[in-house]
């Protein structure tokens, strides 16, 4: 006949072993999740840095295009003014006849 105390101790040891195994599994999963968080944080930082760089480049391009468009507009405006001045000169010449 088995002593009931021994049976309780055996069951307790089995439960402790199971608990230790679960603890190790959870600890390993926790370690993996921490590594994943670190990797994702690095990716996020890289993405934010890339976004900032691209946004800065976009703003520079916008300014450059604005200046470029202004230069073209100035040239067109000068040509239009010269054309109007020539027409005025023709009208004055006609009036002086």
Q: pLDDT digit string (tens) for 59-71?
A: 888 888 777 766 7
**pLDDT tens-place string over residues 26-49:** 999 999 999 999 999 999 999 999
- Please tell me what DSSP assigns to residue 3: -
Rounded alpha-carbon distances, angstroms, from residue 88 to 62, 79, 95, 96 = 38, 14, 10, 12
Assign 3 a pLDDT band (cuts: 50, 70, 90): confident
pLDDT at 8 over 60: yes
Please tell me the pTM assigned to this model.
0.55
């Amino acid at each position: 006949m088995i002593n009931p105390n021994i049976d309780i101790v055996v069951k307790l040891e089995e439960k402790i072993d199971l608990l230790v195994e679960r603890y190790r599994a959870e600890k390993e999963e926790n370690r993996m999740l921490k590594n994943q968080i670190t990797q994702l944080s690095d990716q996020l930082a890289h993405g934010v840095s890339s976004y900032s760089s691209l946004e800065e480049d976009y703003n520079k391009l916008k300014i450059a295009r604005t200046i470029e468009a202004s230069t073209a507009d100035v040239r067109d405006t000068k040509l239009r003014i010269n054309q109007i001045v020539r027409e005025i000169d023709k009208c004055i010449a006609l009036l002086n006849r």
